[in-house]
Structure 1
Amino acid sequence: MLVEHILRRKGRRIAIVDPEATISRALEILAQDNIGALPVVRDGRIVGMLSERDVARGLVDRGAALLDTPVTELMTTRLTTCRPETTIEELMTMMTMRRIRHVPVLGEDGDLTGMISIGDVVKCRLDELETEAQALRDYVAGVQ
């Protein structure tokens, strides 16, 4: 299965944050959309990622003053991305090896076309396993 298949199932809506927005505004978006990370986008291009983990670590270092800080000061700029044609197996390996939970999906032109979370990958794998298990049950039961 490919990343594209997951995007077709879950949809392509992507919550984003502007690089100059405050951490407080980014947290509002995370809470509103019930997500754990946001692509930071300037002029239609992804320039970073901001996760709940980034904010938690920033709060430990800077305290409540962090909330008025621009996203650019806390975002991760060394991005791990994938393409729609990336296989789920490749994506799982990438996420595991790099210890990341959210991967932006970039199209051929480098534009952000989707986001894949570890939850999306787990759901995909569970669906595949259930399909295989049902096929085996049908086979054993002699269902055509």
Structure 2
Amino acid sequence: MRISEILRRKGSGVVTIAPDATVRELLRVLSAHNVGAVVVSADDVSIAGIVSERDIVRRLHTHGADLLDAPVSSIMTAAVHTCAPDDDVETLNARMTEHRIRHLPVLRDGRMIGVISIGDVVKSQISELETEREALVRYIHG
């Protein structure tokens, strides 16, 4: 299965936040969109970084409540891994596992067209396994 198929099923919306937005604003965006990570972008096109719930929790431990007024750019991951719509889900799963990445922006011709999470990848693999199991059961009983 290709990443484009996952995006077709889940949608291609990309939630972004400006690098100078506060962590407090980030929390509001994460909650409002019910997502675990947001792409950091000044123009909704280019990628400055990515920031997740995990980034907030790790920094809260060391910075305390003052972190809430800090800019998102101070906690984001600047080196963002990305993928393409034609990438294979199995290959992407291995890459996400190897690099311990939970969210990847999907780029087509340098433009963001979606975000894939490890949950999306696992869900697609489970769906493929269920389809294969059903085919085997039909074969055995048929």
- The answer, yes or no, to whether TM exceeds 0.5 is yes
Aligned residue in 2 for 1:131: 131
- Counterparts of 1:106-117 in structure 2, within 5 Å, are 106-108=107-109, 110-117=110-117
Paired position in structure 1 for 2:62: 61
2:51 paired with 1:50: yes
Moved over 3 A (4+): none
Per-residue CA shift, 1:43-84, capped at 9, x if unaligned? 221110001111011111111010001111111001111011
Q: Cα distance, 1:4 vs. partner?
A: 0.6
Partner of residue 8, structure 1 = 8
Distance 1:102 1:58 in 2: 19
Alignment-mate amino acid for residue 138 of structure 1: R
TM-score normalised to the size of structure 1? 0.95
2: CA distance, partners of 1:117 / 1:71: 20
Are 2:87 and 1:86 equivalent residues in the alignment? Answer: yes
Unaligned 5+ runs, structure 1? none
Which amino acid letter does the alignment assign opposite residue 89 of structure 2? I
- Matched residue pairs, number? 141
Q: Which residue identity is paired with 2:11?
A: G
Residue identity matched to 1:12 = S
1:84-110 per-position Cα deviation (integer Å, ceiling 9, x unaligned)? 1110011001101100111111111x1
CA distance in 2, matches of 1:111, 1:27: 25
Per-residue CA distance 1:109-142 (angstroms, 9 max, x = gap): x111110001100110010001000101111111
Q: What is the match of residue 37 of structure 2?
A: 37
Q: Give the match's secondary structure for 2:48.
A: strand
Aligned-pair distance for 1:20? 1.0
Alignment correspondent of 2:73: 72
Letter in 1 for 2:59: G
